[in-house]
Amino acid sequence: MTAGTPKLRVEGATKAFDGSIALAPTTLAIQPGEFVSFVGPSGCGKSTLFNIVSGLLTPDQGSVLLDGVDITGTAGNVGYMLQKDLLVPWRSVIDNITLGAALTRGTTKADRTQAIDFAQRYGLGEFLDHYPHALSGGMRQRVALMRTLATNHDVLLLDEPFGALDAQTRFEMQQWLLEVWSETNRTVVFVTHDVDESIFLSDRVLVMSPRPGRVTDELTIDLPRPRTLDVLTQPGFIAAKQRILVGLTGAAA
């Protein structure tokens, strides 16, 4: 990777299903350690874009580059977390965190040590032997994110990970995610339908149009970090929210 090379770059990626265009030509660049969120209506191509970046889908045209290396159509290069936690019910917390290693090469002592470290650092140290049915929704999402972190990929794709949580738990998880992000220096690409969430978390917010999906606006979030509840009432936050909502309304029209 040369100086100035984006951590992740998508070049002119497109995708159609049964003749219907899901993702119009899309080009974007995300820098190392950046937190970027996508907002847009349902069916706008956000998940299609994520699946292309993760290598689960191959674009009809275009390419995906990680550190300047073409990874188009190849999986296993980024961490990917879906809205549903998808925890394995018969595996304990520590065994869910190490699931990726177990499925690909076998769990090592180093994998388990890392899982214990994550759990202790991020509030689940007392629950390592618990099973998913004994955990709250927020705790389950923490385990799912730790499992994604444990893949040790520099880029994390988080597809609406807090969408099913109540408002209080969701805000607690947002604060927790920012703590994890600041400590681990990962590059995070985040999908959400919640405009406030996108602003609160992100360095940049990209607004997408209805199908065929395309990026219609890009907004830099110039708010101080670390971010607390007070930021939600700052003029900069309100102005950003208004611009995004106008962009979404215009895209829908």
Say if CB 244 and CB 205 are below 8 A apart: yes
Residue 253's pLDDT is 43
Sequence-separated (6 or more) residues with CB below 8 Å from residue 234: 223
**3-class SS at 16?**
strand
One-character DSSP codes across 35-101: EEEEE--TTSSHHHHHHHHHTSS--SEEEEEETTEE-TT--SSSEEE-SS----TTS-HHHHHTHHH
Question: Minimal CA–CA distance to 204: which of 22, 33, 4?
Answer: 33
Q: Show pLDDT as tens, one digit a residue, over the chain (253 residues).
A: 445 789 999 999 999 998 899 999 999 999 999 999 999 988 888 889 999 999 999 999 999 999 999 999 999 899 998 878 889 999 999 999 998 777 777 888 888 998 898 888 888 889 999 999 999 988 998 899 889 988 889 999 999 988 878 888 889 889 989 998 998 899 999 999 999 999 999 999 999 988 888 999 999 999 999 998 899 999 999 999 999 999 888 754 4
Residue 8's pLDDT is 97
The model carries a pTM of 0.91
Angle at 26 between CA 42 and CA 14, to 5 degrees: 80
